[in-house]
Chain A
Amino acid sequence: GNSVTQMEGPVTLSEEAFLTINCTYTATGYPSLFWYVQYPGEGLQLLLKATKADDKGSNKGFEATYRKETTSFHLEKGSVQVSDSAVYFCALRSTGGFKTIFGAGTRLFVKA
Chain B
Amino acid sequence: GAGVSQSPSNKVTEKGKDVELRCDPISGHTALYWYRQSLGQGLEFLIYFQGNSAPDKSGLPSDRFSAERTGGSVSTLTIQRTQQEDSAVYLCASSLARAEELFFGEGSRLTVL
Give residues in A with beta carbon < 8 Å to B: 4, 32, 34, 36, 41-46, 49, 51, 89, 93, 98-105
Q: How far, in Å, is A44 (CB) from chain B's closest CB?
A: 4
Contact B50 A98 (CB under 8 A): yes
Contact B104 A98 (CB under 8 A): no
Tell which of B42, B93, B103, B107 touches A4, judged by Cβ atoms closer than 8 Å: B42
Tell which of B48, B55, B56, B104 touches A43, judged by Cβ atoms closer than 8 Å: B104
Q: Confirm or deny: B77 has a beta carbon within 8 angstroms of a beta carbon on chain A.
A: no
A-B contact count (CB 8 A): 53
**Once the chains are docked, how many angstroms separate the CA of A92 from the CA of B53?**
23
Contact B106 A42 (CB under 8 A): yes
Contact A103 B42 (CB under 8 A): yes
Write out the residue numbers on chain B whose beta carbons fall within 8 Å of the beta carbon of A89.
Answer: 42-43
Given A44-B93, A98-B50, 11 other A-B residues pairs in contact with their CB atoms under 8 A: A41-B106, A42-B106, A43-B4, A43-B103, A44-B91, A98-B48, A98-B55, A101-B45, A104-B40, A105-B42, A105-B43
